[in-house]
Homo-oligomer: A and B are copies of this chain.
Amino acid sequence: MNMTLTEAFNNTAYPVGGHGKRNIQVLREALQDVDNNLDSDMYGKGNVIEDFQSEMAEYLGKESAVFFPSGTMAQQIALRIWCDEKGYKQVAYHPLCHLEIHEEDGLKEMHHIEPVLLADQNRLITLEDVQSLQVDISCLLLELPQREIGGQLPDFEELEAISAYCHNKGIKLHLDGARLFEITPYYKKTAAEICALFDSVYVSFYKGIGGIAGAILAGDTEFTTKSKVWKRRHGGDLISLYPYVISSDYYFKQRIDKMVQYYEEAKELAGLYNKCTHTSTLPKEPVSNMFHVHFDMPKEQLEPILLSIYEATSIGLIPTLRDNGETGCYCEVSIGDRYAGVPKEKLKTAFQMLAEKLAN
């Protein structure tokens, strides 16, 4: 059933989420204006990688930055460096942290670091959670926005208080900024202003930026120098990372100024969902380009409804549904370039149909 929904979504003229298809054209476009004679990077050296690293260090307000093939690699390494420095093999993070649920326990299996899970999995980490820690930790990881609960964010004041507390207690603070660019409009802060609260920062180039793959890990030079040694140990110090570097750079420049637009569009789309019965978004009003849509209806019941709407309107609302408990289902929505190209009248019709079908 799920494949059918995904196929139908992909076959609509107007899929609502994301930037577009992840196909070879994405790479070809990024290369289109690059000089054929531009030399490859070589094991982390060379202009193509070093220039981008410098640019991102400046953008994030950090002394130094290192390009990694993946965030999985970058973040394990960040936590390992802080654990080695502080001497405790414990860190704290949210129960739905990427390292806890998507990385096959690499942090535990390779680095022997034990996480303390803070907060209930359905809510954000608070200052009080951090203050209540009963064990010594080397590092606290905060994910902004907290993706698995719809991309929620704490108030900036709470963030500042957590940062100050950690600083006073000698706890390193690491930012999982997989979607950092996407939250600057809500906070009305620059990326550097947000990053200033953290000792180390990871950002990704294939979420809101829409690149092919790749990540940056930033911090002070002592930290990033160590991270390069670990990058080699992990097998991430490739002879050539330029396909990812060039595409990250290209799409960063294409889309960094569109984050406000995506954020406004996400609020608009969430508003349309929230007008339907049996339907609610999390957060109620998005704080980035993403949110979750929850339906108090089994996905087996909802899927035929969605399929009929896609068929009738050529609007693809949702690519895939996940079960949520016994009787509900949900999906993640991320706004990208596609949304602006969706005819508003057709979208309105699709939501009218959805509202009617859900009300029956």
Contacts and interface: CB of A to CB of B under 8 A. Distances in A.
Interface of A: 21-28, 31, 34-40, 42, 68-74, 76, 103-106, 109-111, 206, 212-213, 229-230, 232-244, 246
Given A72-B232, A239-B213, A39 B27 contact: no
Contact of A235 (B21, B68, B241): B68
A236 B70 contact: yes
A62 to B, nearest CB: 21
Nearest to A75: B235
Contact of A213 (B28, B229, B233, B238): B238
Nearest to A42: B22
A214 to B, nearest CB: 8
A233 B28 contact: no
Contacts of A39: 21-23
A70 B238 contact: yes
Nearest to A228: B104
B233 A105 contact: yes
B206 A69 contact: no
A40 to B, nearest CB: 4
Nearest to A27: B243
A235 B69 contact: yes
Contacts of A31: 24, 27-28, 31
A50 to B, nearest CB: 16
Contact of A212 (B70, B232, B233, B240): B240
A24 B242 contact: yes
B24 A37 contact: yes
